[in-house]
Amino acid sequence: MNDRLKPLFRKEARQITRSKRTVLAAALVPALMLIFVTGGDIVTLRLGFGSKPIYLLSSSHAVSGVYLLRHFTLPILITISALVTPSIVMGDVLFGERERRTLDLLVALPISALDVVLAKLAAVLLFALTVTIPLFALNVVIVSSFGYGSVSQTIALFELMLAAISYSATSALIIALIAGEARAANIVSGLLLGPIVPLEGLILTSTKGDIAVTICAVGLGLLTCGALYRSIRLLSFERLYGGT
Phi–psi pair at 55, nearest 5 degrees = -105, 120
DSSP-assigned letters across all residues of 27-77: HHHHHIIIIIIHHHHHHHHHTTTT-S-EE-TT-SSEE-HHHHIIIIIHHHH
Name the band, by pLDDT with cuts 50, 70 and 90, for residue 134: very high
* Amino acid (one-letter) located at 105: L
Nearest-angstrom CA–CA distance, 98 and 177: 12
Strand segments, DSSP code E, in 89-178 are none
How would you classify residue 239: left for phi > 0, otherwise alpha for psi between -120 and 50, otherwise beta?
alpha
Radius of gyration of the chain (CA): 19
* pLDDT tens digits for range 169-197: 888 888 777 766 656 666 767 777 889 99
Question: How much is the pTM?
Answer: 0.85
Q: What is the average pLDDT across 81-96?
A: 81
- At residue 132, does pLDDT exceed 90? yes
* More reliable by pLDDT, 217 or 44: 217
What is residue 62's predicted lDDT score, i.e. its pLDDT? 65
